[in-house]
Amino acid sequence: MTATGTEGECDRSAPPPTPRRVRRAIAAVISVIGELLITAGLIMGLFVAYSLWWTNVLADRAAHRQSDEIRKHWASSKPDKKPEEFDSKDGIGFLHVPAMTSGEVLVKKGTSAGVLNAGVAGYYTKPVKSALPNDKKGNFSLAAHRDGHGAKFHNIDKLKDGDPVVFETKDTWYVYKVFATLPETSKYNVGVLDEIPEGSGKDRAGRYITLTTCTPVYTSTYRYIVWGELVRTEKVDADRTPPKELR
């Protein structure tokens, strides 16, 4: 009886899984994993949309407000004030680069994320101190984001030799012409900001402008550099008529 009972219990045990059951289980697991991957993809997509679109919207709004403030400040300032005395907290002027952007770019002091995230360009205070446009010699060196937070230098790769780069202050238009570009260099290459910019081909001090931003697009691995040289200045008239390069 014992032997028979044991044999009966063995007969009632579950049969081994069939290949069909195994396939169904695997399919169910794959389905769950697929749904999780789709959800993760949607979350990543929303994050990218926030980083590359919504931050642009917010930064542009902030930049417009700041631009309005500095123009009001100019309107109420004494005519003999120098550009750097306009209160660099609000901004010292506007960059106009037709080949890169259709609008103006407010320029402020500093290149920290706290400055650039507001949709502006900033002039370097470290590791190399930037000259200002009205200095008799020096390198007016600027940085801005290439993607997100206004992306003011997104199309920096469109700039070619001879293209105009114009900086507007309350009293003066500074007209530069691009003379060299460096499509890729180390983020630690501060020589590009020197008074005589390293790698620009220049061997003597002058009145230069340097634009810097991250490259490749959507990364911050390297830096893209554009150099220009001052070719002339124009006094701002009562109507703020832009120089011919901007018409």
pLDDT at 75: 82
Distance CA 226, CA 110 (A): 19
pLDDT for the residue 17: 62
Specify the pLDDT at position 194: 98
Q: What are φ and ψ of residue 40, in 5° steps? A: -65, -40
Q: Which CATH architecture has domain 51-246?
A: Beta Barrel (2.40)
Tokens of 172: 């003066």
Residue 58 has a pLDDT of 84
The whole-angstrom separation of Cα 41 and Cα 107 is: 37
Cβ 146 vs Cβ 154: under 8 Å? yes
Domains of the chain, by residue range, sit at 51-246
- HEC-encoded secondary structure of 76-119: HCCCCCCHHHCCCCCCCEEEECCCCCCCEEEEEECCCHHHHCCC
Nearest to 217 by CA among 150, 145, 117: 145
pLDDT of residue 49: 57
CA 93 to chain CA centroid, nearest Å: 19
Helices (H) and strands (E) in the chain — how many of each? Answer: 4, 8
Are 117 and 165 within 8 A, CB to CB?
A: no
* pLDDT for the residue numbered 5: 44
Q: Are the C-beta atoms of residues 103 and 153 closer than 8 Å to each other?
A: no
Position 30 scores a pLDDT of 77
Q: Residue 55: its pLDDT value, please? A: 83
Query: In this structure, which amino acid lies at residue 108?
Result: K
> Are the C-beta atoms of 117 and 132 separated by less than 8 Å?
no
pLDDT at 22: 73
What is the model's pTM?
Answer: 0.79
CA–CA separation, 211 and 143 (whole Å): 6
How far, rounded to the nearest angstrom, does the alpha carbon of residue 27 sit from its chain's CA centroid?
Answer: 45
Give the active site residues. Answer: 214
Q: Quick one: pLDDT at residue 14?
A: 57
Q: Is 170:77 a contact under the CB 8 Å cutoff?
A: yes
Q: Is the Cβ–Cβ distance between 149 and 203 less than 8 Å?
A: no
CA distance 181 to 174: 20
Burial class of residue 133 (count of CB atoms within 10 Å of its CB; 0-12, 13-18, 19+): buried
Per-residue pLDDT of the chain (247 residues), as tens digits, is: 434 444 444 445 556 667 777 777 777 777 767 666 666 665 655 555 556 677 888 888 888 898 998 888 788 876 655 554 555 567 899 999 999 998 999 999 999 999 999 999 999 999 999 999 999 999 999 999 999 999 999 999 999 999 999 999 999 999 999 999 999 999 999 999 999 999 999 999 999 999 999 999 989 999 999 999 999 999 999 999 999 999 9
Q: Which residues contact 140 (CB under 8 A, 6 or more apart)?
A: 123, 130, 131, 132, 133, 167, 207, 208, 209, 210
Q: What is the pLDDT of residue 28?
A: 72
